[in-house]
Amino acid sequence: MIRFLTAGESHGKGLTVIIDGMPAGIPISVDFINHELEKRQKCAGSGGRMQIEQDEVEIVSGVRFGKTIGSPISMIIWNKDHSNWGDKMSIEKQPQEIVDSAKVTKPRPGHADLAGVQKHGFPDVRNVLERASARETAARVAAGGIFKQFLLTKNIEIASHTLQIGDIVVDPLAGGKYTFEDIQKTYENDPEIRCIDPGKSREMKQLIQRARMDKDTLGGVVETWAVGVPAGLGDYAQWDTKLDGKIAQAMMSIQSVKAVEIGSGIENAGKQGSEVHDEIHHNGQEYFRKTNRAGGLEGGVTNGMPIIVRVYHKPISTLYKPLQTVDIETKQSTKATVERSDICVVPRAGVVSEAMLSYVVAQAVMNSKNG
């Protein structure tokens, strides 16, 4: 079974990822992984870390002469910004003045800050925010770079696009009017927003500029497709092997994602059954559907149509006009801490969705009898 775990703090030495269970003989390109990492760094709503450092992966084990060798794959992405944080993120014990000067005591509403402090009894929010930060998604994207290269050997491809930012929505949300190739081109054609519709992209960019001026933040929706997926992956027989459930868990774990939708599940809930279900046809060789409102999954099993998953990101919670909070030391009302932050993460979060979907699909391929 394929598994992966990440480690690392936002301003620590670096991020590490270990992937276990990859088969031997898969061709691996480091440039492919670095290109994925680049997609996670740049977009219209970014907050500037890209100016400080450009992520690059170092493969430490599990790959030899450009191919996987069946042993655990480990990778590191060094945090170049760590040099500015040496004392504050020191592994070694430090004098009390440094510990105190590095301390954060004003938790930001919407972050893990207060909940994490309550969990561990920490006197310093930084112990929580360094790990809860979405910097961790760089490690997931590096892992996704491996899973995607494995899936390519099975002719399965994954791509995403921006469906909504704030209240600007690509019409119709239900899709069907664009192809997978259109989705694949959005990074090249529109790296700042990654939207299929150039008019909507302009509106989304203006909305982000306005939010930046207002010192506010925006959320939105990313849609991810996996194409070339054979019918029969996943299972209908047991709750914890249903593929829709596994996808939902993986996607919901992405920082700031608060809802996950398969196909046009949300819209479908308000319709009649006759308008929703994708009728079955056969062309003499194979089954086919003229619609894909089920998003490629029925009963927790792939049906041969593209898997379509939408994730709903909340507006991010670090605000340059900080919200009201309570100082954990004094218990006095105050304004929340401001860390360097994005305005809208939706365009650059697309590749994180791709990484998580590629993980679940790769795992399902390996678990299937044809894996």
Ligand X SMILES: Cc1cc2nc3c(=O)[nH]c(=O)nc-3n(C[C@H](O)[C@H](O)[C@H](O)COP(=O)(O)O)c2cc1C
Distance CA 366, CA 371 (A): 4
CB of 220 or CB of 296, closer to ligand X: 220
163 binds ligand X (CB under 6 A): no
Q: Which helix (H) or strand (E) holds 77?
A: strand 73-78
137 binds ligand X per the rule CB under 6 A: yes
Among 36, 130, 342, 354, binds ligand X (CB under 6 A): 342
Give the residue, chosen from 132, 170, 183, 344, that forms a contact with ligand X under the rule CB under 6 A: 132
Min CB(23)–ligand X separation in Å: 29
Backbone angles phi, psi at 19, to 5 degrees: -115, 125
How is residue 27 annotated by DSSP? B
Rounded to 5 degrees, φ, ψ at 114 are -75, -45
| Least distance (Å) between residue 348 CB and ligand X | 5
127 part of the interface to ligand X, by CB under 6 A: no
Q: How far is the CB of 146 from ligand X (least distance, A)?
A: 19
Pick the binder of ligand X from 7, 23, 42, 47 (CB under 6 A): 47
> What are phi and psi for residue 192, nearest 5 degrees?
-75, -35
CA–CA distance from 346 to each of 190, 343, 361 (Å)?
13, 10, 22
Calculate Rg over the CA atoms of the chain: 22
Minimum CB separation of residue 318 from ligand X in Å reads 3
Task: Enumerate residues 6+ apart whose C-beta is below 8 A from 169.
Answer: 163, 200, 221
349 is an interface residue for ligand X by CB under 6 A = yes
Provide the b/e sequence for 206-242 (b: ≥16 CB within 10 Å): ebbeebbeeeebbbbbbbbbbbebeeebbbeeeeeeb
- CA 333 vs CA 17, 326, 361: distances in Å: 39, 5, 47
CB of 55 to ligand X, least distance (A): 12
Angle between helix 137-152 and helix 30-41 axes, rounded to 10 deg: 140
Does position 254 interact with ligand X (CB under 6 A)? The reply is yes
Residue 265: helix, strand or coil by DSSP? helix
Query: Looking at 2, 28, 134, 195, which residue binds ligand X (CB under 6 A)?
Result: 134
Each residue 286-325 as x (binds ligand X by CB under 6 A) or -, in order, gives ----------------------------x-xxx-------
Number of residues that bind ligand X (CB under 6 A): 20
From the CB of 20, what's the least distance to ligand X, in Å?
24
256 binds ligand X (CB under 6 A): yes
Q: Are 333 and 324 contacting, i.e. CB atoms less than 8 angstroms apart?
A: yes
Instruction: Find the part of the chain contacting ligand X (CB under 6 A) among 9-17, 241-249, 250-258, 300-308.
Output: 250-258
Q: Which is nearer to ligand X, 352 or 360 (CB)?
A: 352
Among 28-36, 128-136, 180-188, 276-284, the segment contacting ligand X (CB under 6 A): 128-136
Residues 219, 217: Cα–Cα separation, whole Å: 7
Among 260, 307, 345, 356, binds ligand X (CB under 6 A): 345
Among 352, 357, 360, 365, binds ligand X (CB under 6 A): 352
Interaction site with ligand X (CB under 6 A): 47, 111-112, 132-134, 137, 254-256, 314, 316-318, 341-342, 345, 348-349, 352
